Structure 1
């Protein structure tokens, strides 16, 4: 009987080690993570959830990390075609939770990778909020989701190879994450 309990306790601790949250004022940043990349990839994607338990609106307006270029993007699908557009900001109203998750929607782009993101690796980043200011976080690299596990072909499921997002035509900037894609 002791072994099953020990196993359950160990699994619980392993899950707790994976969950990592960061707080600043009324904001809580939940579980920042990146997806492992292919060996030749020069870009990677990061995801997180932001909960605003405060009484004032805030916005994520930037991300800094030790890569040549880091920016906010959104993946959109229009007429069966996937495209990415830069985001100038991600608004978080009081009482709202915003998730940047694999699939359609927002993500953090890490561009100019020298080495691939490998499962289990960690790297620091700074989220820049309009009101809360700078919030130091740590991204944990997780395995690539199984194809179709994200509810469609999302950014995390794409093999970017040597693709450089900096050379892409991103369309217009400043799109609201809840707004429909425009062409």
Structure 2
């Protein structure tokens, strides 16, 4: 099972990604990152891959940081219009990988007073239903390729 997860992760992560990963029980928190934002941006998106290597389901139930508001959101389309909604609980099924990525689930940082700048480190606490809490750092990276579409930094 773990080798299957490792293979899946290898396919989902860019080969150039700087490794800064975390472990909390059976959860692997892989490559947390945000993209640099424009000077006038009031919000930004955070992205991370979470692998549940265990045999028990878990869920991401809260995110905390030094921002006016930080939440897990889901991007979706309704009647041809791109929208977002707050997600109270992001299920992490046992033996599966959940990707928070542009155009899908993501961490939404709201009320930014300063832009995110390349190289900056953004501390955040992830709270899981069963595994508990972990303090991690989201690295600010330059937006490249497909990541340049569907952003929160405009």
TM-score calculated relative to the size of structure 2: 0.84
Q: 1:75–1:106: 8 Å Cα contact kept in structure 2?
A: yes
Number of aligned residue pairs: 139
Higher gyration radius (CA): 1
Report the alpha carbon displacement of residue 159 of structure 1 after superposing the two structures with TM: 4.2
1:8 is matched with which residue? none
Alignment of 1:134-145 (within 5 A): 134-145=133-144
2:51 is matched with which residue? 51
Deviations 1:94-140 (A, max 9, x none): 1000000112x100011111110011111211000000110111000
The reply on whether 1:84 has 2:50 as its aligned counterpart is: no
Distance 1:79 1:153 in 2: 20
Q: 1:64–1:127: 8 Å Cα contact kept in structure 2?
A: yes
The reply on whether 1:35 has 2:43 as its aligned counterpart is: no
Alignment of 1:53-72 (within 5 A): 53-72=53-72
1:107 is matched with which residue? 106
Report the alpha carbon displacement of residue 79 of structure 1 after superposing the two structures with TM: 2.8
Structure with higher strand content: 2
Runs of at least 4 residues off by over 3 Å: none
Report the alpha carbon displacement of residue 47 of structure 1 after superposing the two structures with TM: 0.5
Q: 1:37–1:144: 8 Å Cα contact kept in structure 2?
A: no
Give unpaired runs (5+ residues) of structure 2. Answer: 1-15
Give unpaired runs (5+ residues) of structure 1. Answer: 1-14, 161-183
The reply on whether 1:97 has 2:75 as its aligned counterpart is: no
**Considering only aligned residues, what root-mean-square deviation do their CA atoms show, in Å?**
1.6
- Secondary structure of the 2:118 match is coil
1:123 is matched with which residue? 122
